[in-house]
Amino acid sequence: MTNPLLELKKYGQSVWYDDLNRKLIVTGALQRMVDEDGVSGGTSNPSIFEKAISGTDAYDEHLRRLVDEGRGLPEIYDELTTTDVRMSTDVFRPIYDETQGADGFASLEVSPLIANNTQASIEAAQRLFGKLDRPNAMIKIPGTPEGLPAIEQCLANGLNINITLLFGVENYEQVAWAYISALEKRWAAGKPIDRIASVASFFVSRVDTLTDKKLEEKIAKASNDKERDQLKSLLGKAAIANAKIAYAKYKEIFSGTRWKVLADAGARVQRCLWASTSTKNPDYRDVMYAEGLIGPDTINTMPQSTLDAFREHGVVAPTLEKDVDEAFATIQRLEDAGISFKTVTDELQVEGVRLFSESFAKANDSIKQKRDALVAAGARG
């Protein structure tokens, strides 16, 4: 039988794995995904590291060495996470080389605690990119108002940047233009732009989760069946519609005059990356966010559950550029129903930073507990 995951490449979409961790790499499971499922990149975030560090013993030996060296908590976190991502980039390096820098990346996020601090984000990104020391490493910076100038500066400095926690189309436009401005600065300074890589990570399922919650509140208060049915027809429709509109904006921006000058100089487009593509609502099809957003120059980052489900029963077709007018109409119907979509997406970004910050704190707590246990055992010994 044909593996649907492999079929996605025919439509210009890459599959990245949304759960990079030490155990996956050392057991060879990540390499098997590359060989069997066509996985060509991967991402990490504080939530992923928190679960990996607290839930397995895969980091214990490395942690023990760092404790013996007298490293502090911030250094230990950096060493554990950069090692994971560096090892991942080495798995993906053949893909990076074969595609001449178009694919084969692994991403590491700056601390979410500095998501609203421009200069701290720049400094952290530079430090982590240097520490990773791989051409196919990407640094993730949230697309917050304070993150935008950091993103542009880091790209202009020659870093590969994955812009994370994008929800709104307006925010996406700002990110795309920041990428173009950064490349223009490099080109004007006589610096190479052909190997600068960037992706705009658009979070998908969370949009439906929050929008559906607001719709359900309105459905409960609806005064008649017609109004109730109209509201129900919008459930589970916002996220894919929002992503399709963002992609339409991507096509517009990356076909314009400013971009053509850079493309002629060898620049690559900033690909749209669909993140948070696991289906949260059990009433919805488990691969809806994978099947509904298939199109050229895109990436879908799948967690294990979505990867397995799509391998088993995913339907592959060029869906991303279909029914775009209906996508615009869906968002308009939400606005007409009294749901401000900008309020939804702004709320989601703030919430995303908060959740990642909590995971970052939990990951450091897990490290501290393991460190303290090792120190106590050493004292007893």
Burial of 189 (C-beta count, 10 Å sphere; 0-12/13-18/19+): exposed
- For residues 279-307, average pLDDT: 97
Max Cα distance, the chain (Å): 74
Class of domain 9-380: alpha beta
Predicted local confidence at residue 379, as pLDDT: 57
What share of the chain in percent tops pLDDT 70? 99
Summarised one tens digit per residue, pLDDT across range 42-82 is: 998 888 888 888 888 888 899 989 988 989 888 999 999 99
Does 140 participate in catalysis according to the annotation?
A: yes
Predicted local confidence at residue 260, as pLDDT: 98
- DSSP secondary structure of 124-153: HHHHHHHHH--TTEEEEEE-STTHHHHHHH
Predicted local confidence at residue 57, as pLDDT: 85
- Which one is catalytic: 9, 10, 23, 140? 140
Predicted local confidence at residue 50, as pLDDT: 86
Summarised one tens digit per residue, pLDDT across range 146-196 is: 999 999 999 999 999 999 999 999 999 999 999 999 999 999 999 999 999
| Contacts (Cβ under 8 Å, ≥6 apart) of 241 | 326, 327, 328, 330, 331
- DSSP secondary structure of 137-195: EEEEEE-STTHHHHHHHHHHTT--EEEEEE--HHHHHHHHHHHHHHHHHHHHTT---TT
Cα 352 to the chain's mean position, in Å? Answer: 12
* Residue 1 pLDDT level (bands cut at 50, 70, 90): low
> What are the angstrom distances between the C-alpha of 68 and each of 49, 65, 226?
22, 5, 68
pLDDT at residue 241 above 60?
yes
More confident residue, 178 or 362: 178
DSSP tag of 9: G
Predicted local confidence at residue 88, as pLDDT: 98
| Contacts (Cβ under 8 Å, ≥6 apart) of 275 | 18, 43, 164, 201, 202, 203, 204, 301
More confident residue, 46 or 230: 230
Long-range contacts of 95-98 (CB under 8 A, 24+ apart): 95/34, 95/40, 95/41, 96/135, 96/136
Long-range contacts of 371-375 (CB under 8 A, 24+ apart): 371/63, 371/67, 371/73, 371/76, 374/63, 374/64, 374/67, 375/67
Element (H, E) at 73: helix 73-98
Please state, rounded to an integer, the average pLDDT across all residues of the chain: 95
Predicted local confidence at residue 136, as pLDDT: 98
Q: Alpha-carbon distance 20 to 17, whole Å? A: 7
- For residues 209-219, average pLDDT: 97
- For residues 275-282, average pLDDT: 95
Q: How many C-alpha atoms does 312 have within 13 Å on its Cβ side?
A: 8
Helix (H, G, I), strand (E, B) or coil at 39: strand
Q: How many Cβ atoms from other residues are within 10 Å of residue 235's Cβ?
A: 16
| Contacts (Cβ under 8 Å, ≥6 apart) of 303 | 17, 18, 19, 277, 278
Tell me the pTM.
0.95
C-alpha R_g of the chain: 21
Helices (H) and strands (E) in the chain, counts: 17, 8
> What are the angstrom distances between the C-alpha of 191 and each of 110, 127, 181?
25, 21, 14
Closest-CA residue to 185 (of 263, 102, 269, 262): 262
